[in-house]
Amino acid sequence: MSIGRPVLFLPGTLCDERIFMPMWKHMNINQRRFVPLQWASSLEDMLALTSDRVLSDEKVHVVGYSMGGFIAAKWASLHAEHVASLTLIGYDGYGLSADEIARRKQMVSLLKNGTFRLDNPQYLSRFVHPTQQQNEDVVGVVQGMGEDLGKNTLLAHTQATTPRENMVNTLAQLALPTGIIAAKDDSIAMYNQLMKMADNIPTATRYTVNNSGHMLPLEQPAQLAELVTSFISA
C-alpha cells in the first residue's frame, strides 16, 4: 500500500536513521522525511528541526518513537494544523516516573565524570527483549548508534527532555487521529501505562506488539511497519 501524504519520523534517544531503516524496508512511502534529533542539543532545537521539515501549506503524518514520541506530541500541540495523524511508538505520555528521573540524574552524573559505558550489558538489557539480546541486527545497531553518536549526544538528549510534562490531556484536547503502539514486554515505556494513555485520548487507536522490548523498530520491524501503514492509511 502506497502512502501519498508525507510521513515525518522522529527517533529516540541516541538514535539516528538506523532505528527506522528495518521498518522502512517494509513500507511504501512516497515522501519519507526524517528529523535528525541527533543534531539537537536542546528541546527548542528538536522542535525547530521538526518544523524545518514541514512546508507551510501541508499536513503530514507524524511518527515518533520513544523520545521522538515526546517531541512529536509537543510539536503537534503547537502545530496541529499541520498534522494529519500522530503515531506514538513506545512513548509514555504521562511523563517520566520519579525512579526514571532519578536514574537519569545518576546517568548524567556518570556521563559528566566519564565513567558511564554505553556498551554496558546492564544498560542494553533494559532496552532489548531477552530473546533478542544475541541478535546482531538489534544489539549491533543499538551499539553502533551509541558508538557513533557518543556520550555527548546521550547527555544532550537526556538533559533536553528531562523531565517531561504530562501530555495526555493535551493530546486528548487536540482530537487528532492518534495511534499508540506499545510493546507488551517494554521495560521503559510500560505497556499498562500506554494502554491507560489510549483510554484517556478519545481519538486514540491502540496497537500491541508482542515479543519485543523497547527497541521495537529493530526487534519487530515488519509488524511495526504493518501497524503504522494500517493506521496512517485508514
Please state the pTM of the whole predicted model: 0.96
Give the pLDDT confidence of 137-177 residue by residue, as tens digits: 999 999 999 999 988 999 999 999 999 999 999 999 999 99
* Mean pLDDT score of the chain: 94
CA distance 155 to 212: 26
Residue 119 has pLDDT above 80, yes or no: no
Task: Give the residue ranges of DSSP H helices in 79-120.
Answer: 98-113
What pLDDT does 124 receive?
A: 82
Note the pLDDT tens digit of each residue in 11-44: 999 999 999 999 999 999 999 999 999 999 999 9
Is the model's pLDDT at 218 over the cut of 70?
A: yes
pLDDT (0 to 100) of residue 3: 82
User: What is the three-class DSSP state of 180?
Assistant: strand
Phi/psi of residue 124, each to 5°?
A: -65, -35
- pLDDT bin (cut points 50, 70, 90) of residue 115 is low
Q: Mean pLDDT over residues 169-197, rounded? A: 97
Any residues with CB less than 8 A from the CB of 156 and at least 6 apart, and which?
40, 41, 42
pLDDT, tens digit (0-9, with 9 covering 90-100), for 41-87: 999 999 999 999 999 999 999 999 999 999 999 999 999 999 999 99
Give CA separation, 229 vs 43, 61, 133, 206, in Å. 28, 11, 27, 14
Output 1 or 101, whichever has higher pLDDT. Answer: 101
Give the number of C-alpha atoms closer than 13 A to the C-alpha of residue 106, restricted to the C-beta side.
Answer: 8
